[in-house]
């Protein structure tokens, strides 16, 4: 019975090589968040495929890896203290799912709304697809409704 459980464990958990691949993929994805926190589009571009697809793309965002600079400028202009903190990271094959917390104080216009110097804290979920050491596609959703409430957009 013990031998059967050991064999099943190896089959389920994979080999050490697989574990190394997991580690590399996770490291590549965590660099994405480091790039946002350092406000460094060049770092972000190093881990993105040139044909990276951002789903959904921001209004006016150029296609491919060059589009990350547009997003960074928009966010860090509106929120100079913008920060993304990964809270939970899960991996399934070549996809990495990240639940994160986004914080920032609005100091400039955002989505057409003027700044009221209010702080927001919202949750985000990202799914990154990795191929050959590069992020090729990112699906993401952020709780902007909560953020807009915190920023006072709906105040009367």
The CATH number for 50's domain is 3.10.450.50
Tally the domains of the chain.
1
Point out which residues pair with 51 in neighbouring strands: none
Burial of 35 (C-beta count, 10 Å sphere; 0-12/13-18/19+): buried
Residue 2: predicted pLDDT: 55
Burial of 34 (C-beta count, 10 Å sphere; 0-12/13-18/19+): middle
Residue 1: predicted pLDDT: 56
Instruction: Domain of residue 43: give its range.
Output: 2-150
Residue 19: predicted pLDDT: 44
Is there a cis peptide before residue 136, judged by omega within 30 degrees of 0?
no
Residue 156 lies in a domain: no
Task: State both tokens at 89.
Answer: 């990271």
Residue 25: predicted pLDDT: 80
Residue 135 lies in a domain: yes
Residue 108 lies in a domain: yes
CB 130 within 8 A of CB 29: yes
Residue 155 lies in a domain: no
Rounded to 10 deg, the angle between the 67-78 and 16-38 helix axes is 50
Q: Which residues contact 18 (CB under 8 A, 6 or more apart)?
A: none
Residue 27 lies in a domain: yes
Q: Which residues contact 70 (CB under 8 A, 6 or more apart)?
A: 58, 60, 61, 62
CB 134 within 8 A of CB 49: yes
Q: Which residues contact 114 (CB under 8 A, 6 or more apart)?
A: none
Residue 116: predicted pLDDT: 96
Residue 8: predicted pLDDT: 41
Residue 34: predicted pLDDT: 95
Low-confidence ranges of the chain (pLDDT < 70): 1-21
């Amino acid at each position: 019975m013990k031998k059967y459980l050991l064999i099943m464990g190896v089959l389920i958990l994979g080999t050490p090589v697989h574990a190394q691949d997991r580690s590399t993929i996770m490291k590549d994805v965590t660099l994405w968040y480091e790039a946002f926190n350092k406000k460094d589009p060049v770092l972000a571009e190093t881990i993105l495929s040139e044909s990276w697809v951002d789903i959904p793309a921001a209004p006016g965002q150029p296609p491919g890896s060059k589009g990350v600079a547009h997003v960074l400028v928009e966010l860090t202009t509106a929120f100079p203290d913008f920060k993304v903190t990964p809270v939970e990271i899960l991996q399934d094959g070549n996809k990495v799912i990240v639940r994160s917390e986004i914080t920032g104080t609005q100091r400039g216009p955002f989505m057409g709304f003027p700044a009221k110097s209010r702080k927001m804290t919202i949750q985000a979920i990202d799914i990154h697809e990795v191929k050959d050491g590069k992020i090729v596609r990112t699906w993401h959703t952020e709780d902007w409704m909560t953020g807009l409430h915190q920023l006072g957009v709906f105040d009367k």
